Structure 1
Amino acid sequence: LIENYNYKQIKIDDSISSIVLDRYIKALDPSKYYFLASDIKEFDKFRTSLDDDFKNGDLSVPFYIFNVYLKRYNERIDYSMAQIKAKYDFNQNDTYVYDREKMPWITSTTALDDIWKKRVKYELVNLKVTGADATKNIETLTKRYQGLKSQAAKFNNQDVFQILMDAFTEAIDPHTNYFNPRNAESFNQEMSRSIEGIGATLQLDNEVTKIVSIVPGGPAFKSKQINAGDRIIGVAQGENGEFEDIIGWRIDNAVSKIKGPKGTTVRLKIIPVGQDMSTKPVIITLVREKVILADQSAKKTVKTVNSDGKPYKIGIIDVPGFYADWEAARAGDKNYKSTTRDVRLLIDTLKNIDKVDAIVVDLRANGGGSLPEAIDLTGLFIDKGPVVQVKEYNREVSVNSDKDPGAAWSGPLGVMIDRLSASASEIFAGAIQDYGRGVIMGTQTYGKGTVQRVISLNEMIDSSILQKMMSAMAANKAKTNTTTVKENKNTGTVTIVKDGVPQLGQLNLTMGKFYRINGSSTQHKGVVPDFNFPSIYPLDKIGEDTEPSALPFDVIKPSNFQSVANLTDVKANLLKLHNERMAKSLDYKILEEDIIESKKRDGETSITLNEAKLKAERDALEAKSYERLNKLRASR
């Protein structure tokens, strides 16, 4: 698939094998805290053989490397736990180097011990500076390291394979990605902005599954029996199913038991918030439903600004992603959820009820999503016409257009972008800029101008192979409409099974490149705003142009389109007014100072272990923060 259909059409050879090995090692130990130089030297003998191993289906080398990593990890945690109760002199002028990425690998266990002892000392002095007593600090740090060891013990073959495939696919290009079955499920839920389950966000807290928040309108919310902070210690399926104790489970395994198809029943054993774990649990029965993730959907706010003594109402539409529930659409649901449908309703409210004078579409931190949604959303602000061009892996170019005449909003329009705006966000912002339909404000975008196709690996595998896998597992005793985790007790390997069929995950394969209607690629370069704002994100560390395997920027023939307006004079006047306001803005000045300070801190790799010096640094930062806050209050 990758050799023949990736846009680069690159051959998997020894050079790719070398890159994969380096990426895999870096993914496991990015700060060089665990592996020794001798380990790295040993791994080097595999440098040019991984490509052949992959083609032969042999993953023994990557799993061997991971097992060495896990051994080193546990050695470091055990050593650190033994150092927590040691006596430390917090008046010494020593330092702890916390960022070792650019430093050489440690050559001896003794040297590694020294680094980890300093790490423990840093964590203790950090706790000490906050004011807690020594006994409490030892207890806190001991629990922290016990938690780290417990989480490492929960790693399985699916996790290791995911890390390996990330190293492999990102050696080809940054956006060809493999998703194991769990991650594939999460990816598709994010695209649809909906899940089927009880409507609660969960996390692991001291080996117990805790409810962090509850989605309004979901089964948990409507039951009025479940609250944030409650702990789930057991799960049973249906009215009469046997309870499974889930204490100590990985959070994804616990979630898989709690989630399920709408209309099915799940029973939970709950320890209510504030109650001791020895309290008799409450049993709550819920019927799962399809839950809309409203907090991850487009939403609006209205702000009033004054200009020349006249108030103007500005409608701000926050678009966190380009999503669409394609499964619901294919099933014939006329009310299926999508970005364009949500934004159309918001525009209608802003226009007819809020009576706004202008609209700003906020795409900051919007990493993209559905290409059709980017095209349809653009169509809400233009009459009709081309929106984006796509060059496929076979180098054929197609033009994707908005064919629906008429615009939902034809008034003044602004688009907010930042360095984290990517992909579909860049398509929308680029089209609005090319048409002269609105002004673009913010910082240069990410520059992710590649097209990925989602390929289910189950659909690519010969059905007879899947049948053999099913026959080898107990999962085929009864076909159920649920996702389960099957663990082989002999090998320790984990298989995700859905409806009795082993799940293989999915591949998001880069098969094309996006081009603006003016012919410029959004790849590598992104969208440059009309009005540039200071960036809180370091442009030299975040963005497509920082990725070694990224495709280059290039230009093709422009589409045939007619711009709405020439905004050159308008932009020049707005820029003049903007600069005049910012010259008088204390907020703007403080933001620029914060960015300078952040860049300075970003270059630091070590920190003092001297308690008095550390406290003085913290106190100075706190005093500076209070001083700024008082200045801002006085300026209001």
Structure 2
Amino acid sequence: MKTVSKPVMSRARKFAIGVLAILPVVGIGTSLHASAEVDSYEAVSPSIEQARANILISRQLQFTHFREQTIDENLAEEVFNDYLDYLDGQRVYLTEKDIESFQPLKEQMAASLRTGQLQPGFDIYNRVQKRIVERMDYALGLLEDGVDSFDFQTDDQILLDRSEASWEPDQAALDELWNRRIRNAVLGQRLNGSSDDEILKVLTRRYESQRKRISQMRSEDAFQAYMNAFAGTWDPHTNYFSPRNSENFNINMSLSLEGIGAVLQSDNEYTKVVRLVPGGPAARQGQLGPADRIVSVKQEDEDQPVNVIGWRLDEVVDLIRGPRGSTVTLEVVPANASDETVTRTIAIKRDEVKLEEQSASSEVIELDRGDETYRIGVIDIPTFYADFQAMQQGDPDYKSTTRDVRKLLEDLKEEQNVDGLVVDLRNNGGGALHEANDLVGLFIDQGPTVQIRSSDNQVQVLADQDPSVAWDGPMVVLVNRMSASASEIFAGAIQDYGRGLVVGSQTFGKGTVQAVRSLNHGQLKITQSKFYRVSGGSTQHRGVIPDIEIPSRIDTTRIGEDALERALPWDQIDSVPHARYFDFSGVIDQLRQRHSDRFAETPEFGLLQKEIDFLKEQRKTTTVSLNEDQRRDYQDQLESRQLTIANARRELRGDEPFDSFQAMEDHQEQQAAAANGEDEELDFIVREGGHIMADMLELDRRLATILPAGTVAAKAE
């Protein structure tokens, strides 16, 4: 079976291990702290097996990747820069002098990558690890006098994101930078209510832990980091897996492990949440979200959490995994946090992700519109799934997306007597490709559904061969930025066929297919083909543009294919002949106007827009003050605005307002499990999808049964 790969959601490149770095923090002092308990970092060296793997990776990338490029000096410079970004993405360990000393290594890099000479990459890696040890020693030295020795009455500020900053010129400048970083960490925890004694313990434990991690680095860590910087210059979905990470990747693909149901990736200093598995423990618990960054992990039988900043991804995954029924507590920096010192604690009970909890489901909503009441069927599809094992065993009742949706449609038509259909694909990250193809077939008599172009320019067309139709009435497909891969194939086909309207926000744009190839040492996941709609345009990079747009809280600068460096571009091939069931051009302007007028009078939309504006303002903040009074004022303003929005939403529902920000947070934690990951935005957007459906029927009654009405086979424009 071919499976649509899941998307990556980050501006940072996705790698197979954790970046060796630390949480932004800072203080005062000049002495280096020598830890007697931790050995100094010992340089690592490449092995013969790694050198052979490097040669195989070079050949695979040059001759089988979808993007054609050669390993020359220009590409080597990209590898060099990406490697430094990976090892010191916030530019807090290396100085300008270090970078200058790497120039001879950069000049050797092109030839070295072609021939398996790994020493340039290892030399850079070893230097960075030694610099990290020096910074840890410096940070621990600053903490020796206690956090009350820091001055929080200055007008100093700190840059939140240093990924584009200049390298500091020397060690003295780095000392000053770290002074600010530690003050920022102390101040952030003070504002979270921690005492100075607690802060001192937490930060000391953090830096000692990270220093210890550096002393345990292995040759494989350097090789993974270097090969991923190399592979990532082709595209962000091409990755190298070490032998251990290959095992983890294969286990994850078989869904045989119990855990929290979250896909993770490395993002500079942190392990970041990519997406939640539908129906999994984290999705059901409701507090963890995409782009949240994990700071620490605590087991239920342990008193203290383990700080995981700077840990390898595989080791963080091992900590989070555990027996079914046990609880793991994550400390995370929320995606919408004002800065990295703002964290929240989330307790999740581990469980296995069950297929039935990912299954499609339906409901019927009634909309009173003047003299008429419309019954709208809503089908929610969390993922494109199939029970492959049952299918291979010949079970006639095996579960799959298409089979389940067909049954739901039969019920909606025969028992519920609905007037229209809304298919909800929001937050659906994809899944089985053949299920996307078959699902399109439930809504058309037959025809092509998607084109797949390989690296040798051969085009394969998947098609629905079944002339039967499960639903021939009008439909709306809801999408958002988290709709990816198979979701985009389905939504794009419905749009191209004129079978329904796509409503929501621009989708993720994951339109590539990866294959995993074994090496002598580990595996290479490599991009080998791209998806194209039947109209010829790729879903890659651009995704699906809705016919009617609804704004979203999701930060598109951080989540989405077009937010990834070196993502393959959008392009176009020839369209394939396909039917066009309805031309919406005659009514789309009126539909958009009705939607706009309705939203202008919808209180929920007004609150959503206020929240979006608030989040955009926060994202524009590039620095924060290290003055305690100013910082408290800033935090009070943020909390006040969030509380105002939350209380306005409660007022709409007839609930008592919260009397404080803390009361709001306590309530959200208590309600997280019951909420099952849903929120008010989802409910009112589903209703709006129903209203758009009703508008369609009112404006053109031909939509009531559009399929049999003069289907014309033609090429899409």
Q: Smaller-chain TM-score range?
A: 0.7 to 0.9
Q: Unmatched 5+ residue regions in structure 1?
A: 204-212, 218-227, 234-248, 260-265, 275-289, 462-503
| Matching of residue 455 in structure 1 with residue 472 in structure 2 | no
Partner of 2:175: 113
Picking from 525, 534, 539, the partner of 1:508 is 525
| Matching of residue 398 in structure 1 with residue 457 in structure 2 | no
**Post-superposition offset of 1:184:** 4.2
SS at 2:232 equivalent: helix
Picking from 70, 80, 86, the partner of 1:27 is 86
Partner of 1:286: none
Partner of 1:471: none
Partner of 2:184: 122
Partner of 1:446: 508
Higher relative contact order, structure no. (Cα contacts within 8 Å, ≥ 6 residues apart): 2
Contact 1:305–1:314, Cα closer than 8 Å, also in 2: yes
Partner of 1:94: 156
Picking from 302, 308, 315, the partner of 2:363 is 302
Residues 345 and 34 of structure 1: is their aligned pair in 2 closer, same or farther, counting only changes over 3 Å? farther
Residues 584 and 540 of structure 1: is their aligned pair in 2 closer, same or farther, counting only changes over 3 Å? same
Contact 2:259–2:320, Cα closer than 8 Å, also in 1: no
SS at 1:574 equivalent: helix
Partner of 1:57: 116
SS at 2:632 equivalent: helix
| Matching of residue 389 in structure 1 with residue 448 in structure 2 | no
Q: Which moved more, 1:296-305 or 1:432-441?
A: 296-305
SS at 1:58 equivalent: coil
**Post-superposition offset of 1:518:** 1.3
SS at 2:428 equivalent: coil
Report matched runs for 1:32-431 at 5 Å. 32-84=91-143, 85-86=146-147, 87-152=149-214, 155-188=217-250, 191-192=253-254, 194-195=255-256, 197=257, 230-231=300-301, 252=314, 292-294=353-355, 297-300=358-361, 302=363, 304-308=365-369, 312=374, 314-324=376-386, 326=388, 329-330=391-392, 338-344=400-406, 346-347=408-409, 357-431=419-493
Contact 1:367–1:421, Cα closer than 8 Å, also in 2: yes
Deviations 1:27-66 (A, max 9, x none): 1111111112222112222224333223322322222222
AA aligned opposite 2:454: E
SS at 1:456 equivalent: strand
Residues 69 and 367 of structure 1: is their aligned pair in 2 closer, same or farther, counting only changes over 3 Å? farther
SS at 1:117 equivalent: helix
**Post-superposition offset of 1:104:** 0.7
Q: Which moved more, 1:563-572 or 1:371-380?
A: 563-572
**Post-superposition offset of 1:150:** 4.6
State the alpha-carbon separation in 1 of the partners of residues 218 and 232 from structure 2.
22
The share of aligned pairs that are identical, in percent, is 38
Q: Which moved more, 1:151-160 or 1:51-60?
A: 151-160
Contact 2:106–2:120, Cα closer than 8 Å, also in 1: no
Deviations 1:398-448 (A, max 9, x none): 221012232333343222222333332221111010111121111222333
Q: Which moved more, 1:528-537 or 1:25-34?
A: 528-537
Residues 530 and 182 of structure 1: is their aligned pair in 2 closer, same or farther, counting only changes over 3 Å? farther
**Post-superposition offset of 1:115:** 1.4
Picking from 562, 567, 579, the partner of 1:550 is 567
Deviations 1:486-524 (A, max 9, x none): xxxxxxxxxxxxxxxxxx443332222322111222233
Q: Which moved more, 1:20-29 or 1:528-537?
A: 528-537
Contact 2:386–2:399, Cα closer than 8 Å, also in 1: yes
State the alpha-carbon separation in 1 of the partners of residues 536 and 327 from structure 2.
59
State the alpha-carbon separation in 2 of the partners of residues 258 and 619 from structure 1.
33
SS at 2:462 equivalent: strand
Picking from 617, 624, 631, the partner of 1:607 is 624
Residues 138 and 269 of structure 1: is their aligned pair in 2 closer, same or farther, counting only changes over 3 Å? same
The count of corresponding residues between Structure 1 and Structure 2 is 533
AA aligned opposite 1:518: S
**Post-superposition offset of 1:548:** 4.9
Give the alignment's TM-score, normalised by structure 2.
Answer: 0.66
**Post-superposition offset of 1:9:** 2.8
Residues 615 and 407 of structure 1: is their aligned pair in 2 closer, same or farther, counting only changes over 3 Å? same
State the alpha-carbon separation in 1 of the partners of residues 216 and 466 from structure 2.
51
Residues 250 and 122 of structure 1: is their aligned pair in 2 closer, same or farther, counting only changes over 3 Å? closer
AA aligned opposite 2:64: Y
State the alpha-carbon separation in 2 of the partners of residues 400 and 82 from structure 1.
63
Contact 1:15–1:48, Cα closer than 8 Å, also in 2: no
Picking from 566, 574, 577, the partner of 2:594 is 577
**Post-superposition offset of 1:344:** 4.3
Contact 1:382–1:407, Cα closer than 8 Å, also in 2: yes
SS at 1:90 equivalent: coil
Residues 255 and 131 of structure 1: is their aligned pair in 2 closer, same or farther, counting only changes over 3 Å? closer
SS at 2:509 equivalent: coil
Residues 605 and 272 of structure 1: is their aligned pair in 2 closer, same or farther, counting only changes over 3 Å? closer
Contact 2:260–2:280, Cα closer than 8 Å, also in 1: no
AA aligned opposite 2:579: Q
AA aligned opposite 1:162: Q
Deviations 1:61-97 (A, max 9, x none): 2222222222222222222222231401222222122
Report matched runs for 1:463-542 at 5 Å. 504-540=521-557, 542=559
SS at 1:562 equivalent: strand
SS at 2:531 equivalent: strand
Give the alignment's TM-score, normalised by structure 1.
Answer: 0.73
AA aligned opposite 2:575: P
Residues 270 and 369 of structure 1: is their aligned pair in 2 closer, same or farther, counting only changes over 3 Å? closer
SS at 2:578 equivalent: coil
AA aligned opposite 2:633: A
**Post-superposition offset of 1:136:** 2.2
**Post-superposition offset of 1:269:** 14
Residues 23 and 111 of structure 1: is their aligned pair in 2 closer, same or farther, counting only changes over 3 Å? same
State the alpha-carbon separation in 2 of the partners of residues 634 and 257 from structure 1.
41
Deviations 1:163-217 (A, max 9, x none): 323222221123333333454455555555x31x5667799xxxxxxxxx9x999
Residues 13 and 438 of structure 1: is their aligned pair in 2 closer, same or farther, counting only changes over 3 Å? same
AA aligned opposite 1:626: L
Contact 2:364–2:377, Cα closer than 8 Å, also in 1: yes
SS at 2:448 equivalent: strand
Q: Per residue, is there more strand in 1 or in 2?
A: 1
Contact 2:299–2:328, Cα closer than 8 Å, also in 1: yes
Residues 384 and 157 of structure 1: is their aligned pair in 2 closer, same or farther, counting only changes over 3 Å? farther
Picking from 588, 607, 630, the partner of 1:590 is 607
Contact 1:388–1:516, Cα closer than 8 Å, also in 2: yes
SS at 1:20 equivalent: helix
State the alpha-carbon separation in 1 of the partners of residues 419 and 398 from structure 2.
30
Picking from 624, 642, 645, the partner of 1:628 is 645
Q: Which moved more, 1:297-306 or 1:111-120?
A: 297-306
Q: Unmatched 5+ residue regions in structure 2?
A: 1-59, 264-276, 282-297, 304-310, 330-350, 654-717
Residues 618 and 405 of structure 1: is their aligned pair in 2 closer, same or farther, counting only changes over 3 Å? same
**Post-superposition offset of 1:531:** 0.6
SS at 2:568 equivalent: coil
State the alpha-carbon separation in 2 of the partners of residues 556 and 366 from structure 1.
26
**Post-superposition offset of 1:271:** 10
Report matched runs for 1:554-565 at 5 Å. 554-565=571-582
SS at 1:47 equivalent: helix
